[in-house]
């Protein structure tokens, strides 16, 4: 589900929205770092600055989603989107996936506006990435038909570690991470519950997870190693 074996052409064909997001990320990165362009002006016009937003520059709620501080930030954020976006785009369809990605990112930036001082500035795709994680959690609870047990363990582990790291790492936009995740869970729950009771369903999943952890069944060492590398790379991207 999260391992990619497609060729470049197949990837673009199968996951056009993820490919478009990655392309926009690349173009914005080049526009903000190539010395032949007015990169400082472009960056200053796109970065999320709370003071400018309340003064009417509403586009700053959207543009920071595609803006990055440097190559490593751009690379690892793009890696997270490349890795976790395709399965969600396939599960939701193109319009819904794009709406979830932008919706959670914008709402994360609105949360930043509400919770941080007017002098606060922010950029990066973490709000949208955490929104994807949140939606995955809802899929784990309500759509077991499309997420296997192993994949649910992987995404659950990454989501949990990412939330923990949010409160440990310095200089992190905690509001964007936390609210992006919560908005993703909320959106997924409302769209995927399909008549099921939301709170009891999460309680049941928690009890089931606790039972699995107590059983202490360990996956093969090779599997653990591969996913440890993937999780590490994903976390690097979120906390650069």
Which candidate in 68, 73, 122, 177 is catalytic? 177
Q: How far apart are alpha carbons 208 and 47 in whole angstroms?
A: 42
> Residue 122 catalytic?
no
- In order of 67, 91, 116, 123, 204, the CA distances from 77 in angstroms are 10, 21, 23, 12, 33
Strands (E), the chain: 48-49, 121-122
Which helix (DSSP H) or strand (DSSP E) does residue 123 occupy? none
What is the token pair recorded at 225? 């190693």
> Residue 208 catalytic?
no
Which candidate in 126, 128, 162, 189 is catalytic? 126
Contact assessment for residue 75 and residue 29, using Cβ atoms and an 8 Å cutoff: no
Q: What residues are annotated to the active site? A: 126, 177
């Amino acid at each position: 589900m999260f391992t990619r074996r497609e060729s470049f052409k197949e990837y673009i064909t199968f996951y056009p929205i993820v490919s478009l997001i990655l392309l926009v990320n690349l173009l914005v990165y080049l526009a903000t770092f190539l010395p032949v362009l007015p990169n400082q002006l472009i960056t200053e016009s796109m970065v999320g600055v709370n003071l400018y937003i309340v003064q009417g520059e509403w586009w700053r709620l959207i543009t920071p989603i595609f803006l990055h501080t440097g190559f490593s930030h751009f690379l690892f954020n793009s890696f997270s989107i490349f890795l976790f976006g395709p399965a969600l785009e396939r599960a939701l369809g193109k319009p819904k996936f794009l709406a979830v990605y932008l919706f959670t990112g914008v709402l994360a930036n609105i949360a930043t506006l509400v919770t941080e001082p007017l002098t606060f500035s922010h950029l990066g795709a973490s709000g949208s990435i955490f929104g994807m994680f949140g939606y995955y959690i809802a899929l784990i609870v309500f759509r077991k038909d499309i997420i296997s047990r192993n994949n649910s363990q992987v995404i659950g582990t990454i989501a949990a570690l990412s939330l923990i790291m949010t409160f440990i790492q310095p200089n992190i936009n905690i509001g964007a991470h936390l609210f992006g995740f919560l908005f993703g869970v909320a959106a997924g729950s409302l769209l995927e519950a399909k008549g099921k009771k939301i709170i009891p369903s999460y309680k049941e999943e928690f009890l089931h997870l606790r039972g699995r952890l107590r059983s202490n069944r360990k996956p093969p060492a090779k599997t653990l190693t591969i996913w440890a590398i993937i999780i590490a790379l994903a976390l690097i991207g979120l906390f650069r």
